[in-house]
Amino acid sequence: MAVHKKDKTNSISRRDFLKLSAAAGIALTGLGGNVAKAGTNEAMAEISNSVKTIPLADVDQIRNKKIKIVPPKEAVRYEIIDSHLHFTDFLQKSDGFPALCRAMDMAGVKKSVIFGMPIAMECDSHFYYYSATDYLVAQQLLAQPDEIRHRFYPFCCGFNCNDKYAADHLERLLHIYPDFWRGIGEIMSRHDDLTAHTYGEVPHMDGGGFLGIYDVAAQKGLPVLVHHNITAQNTERILYLHELKNALAYNRQCNIIWAHIGISRQVEVKELPQIAHELLRDNKNLWMDISWLVYDHYFLDKFPDNYYDGNTMEDWVELIERHPDRFLLGTDKVGHWQTYPAEVMKYYPLLDKLKPSTVAAICHNNLLSLIKKY
């Protein structure tokens, strides 16, 4: 994922961050039972009036008109729901919702999951957990007209999953925005250089605050999208798979989506389709999203270092047809939409090889079966 240089024209100031945080606290303590008792529309209206949209919204509206989206090189042939999309980048900047919808229209994407970036970057390339990302996403989405707002399924992700009180933070967030969040994620566990350069211990998905998050998710009916590398960089030994298995076994009522099938930069292993098959066979509460580098490297064999994992596109087609109800498609774009159509249409070679019923499942039906419905 690319990290961009700081741009003052579209970044949230410290003053606006403090205003947003204070407003969120007022919403939690002041709205309280009134919001909980109100219907969805009334609750959203009360929150929108109490927690004012930050000035970034006005800046985004102006910039959206200037953002150029690279047109696709072929006609739209599939209708897709994007299961993995970050509204903000590592500096908590975004091209905004109107430009995103233009890009989605070009790519045949009717709807999308949307979430922020739970980790923010300092000027020295170190990272820290950024809980305000959820408030940014919520306030920006609530500020949009109905025709934009209804195209998105918001997930919350701004948790330090090493914190044993992370579940408390999650429950507060669900209370502040009732009947709003459709899932949880993308939350981070063993994300190679990213988590290695984030303050605190490296998170692992079978400990810390993760377990409490799984319990809340199971109780509320929210799927949990987790980035968890299958192993470390530059080794073929499978080091971290047992942590995923432990998390799946901890609470079988919690549905977990494994982002990128456990793959990240320089994560190179053999027999990934077989590993995925065994996991899906043994864990009915597991789904896998095909997004980011796993498709380029493992499906298309486009490893930058010419690594060969021993599998082909046909092996992946066979795997997906064996488990057609357990895969999702996502772009994993991060806050900027210029190349969004190409990131969607790169999946067409895979979709062309699948049965029509399987295409429908992985392009939209599987996601719709997972997300929280209100």
- Expressed as residue numbers, the domain containing 249 is 53-370
Average pLDDT over residues 356-366: 98
pLDDT at 40 > cutoff 50: no
Q: Are residues 146 and 38 part of one domain?
A: no
Percent of the chain with pLDDT over 90: 70
Q: Are residues 316 and 216 part of one domain?
A: yes
Q: Are residues 102 and 37 part of one domain?
A: no
pTM of the model: 0.84
pLDDT at 230 > cutoff 70: yes
Q: How many whole angstroms separate alpha carbon 67 and alpha carbon 330?
A: 22
pLDDT value at residue 192: 67
Q: How many domains does the chain have?
A: 2
- Whether 341 is in a domain gets the answer yes
**CA 69 remoteness from chain centre:** 21
pLDDT value at residue 126: 83
Span 183-209, pLDDT tens digits: 999 998 876 666 555 666 777 899 989
Q: Are residues 297 and 190 part of one domain?
A: yes
Q: Are residues 185 and 293 part of one domain?
A: yes
The CATH number of whichever domain residue 113 belongs to comes to: 3.20.20.140
Average pLDDT over residues 135-146: 96
**Radius of gyration over every alpha carbon of the chain, rounded to an integer in angstroms:** 20
pLDDT value at residue 5: 40
pLDDT at 26 > cutoff 70: no
Helix, strand, coil % (nearest 5) of the chain? 45, 15, 45
| Average pLDDT taken over every residue of the chain | 85
Q: Are residues 205 and 252 part of one domain?
A: yes
Q: Are residues 19 and 160 part of one domain?
A: no
The DSSP code sequence of 294-343 is: IIIIIIS---TT----S--HHHHHHHHHHSTTSEEE----BS--TTHHHH
- Whether 3 is in a domain gets the answer no
Span 203-213, pLDDT tens digits: 789 998 999 99
The pair of three-digit structure tokens given for residue 346, joined into one six-digit string: 């790169």
The pair of three-digit structure tokens given for residue 91, joined into one six-digit string: 């500096």
Q: Are residues 141 and 44 part of one domain?
A: no
What's the start-to-end Cα distance of the chain, in Å? 33
Range picked from 122-131, 168-177, 264-273 for highest mean pLDDT: 168-177
The pair of three-digit structure tokens given for residue 211, joined into one six-digit string: 């377990």
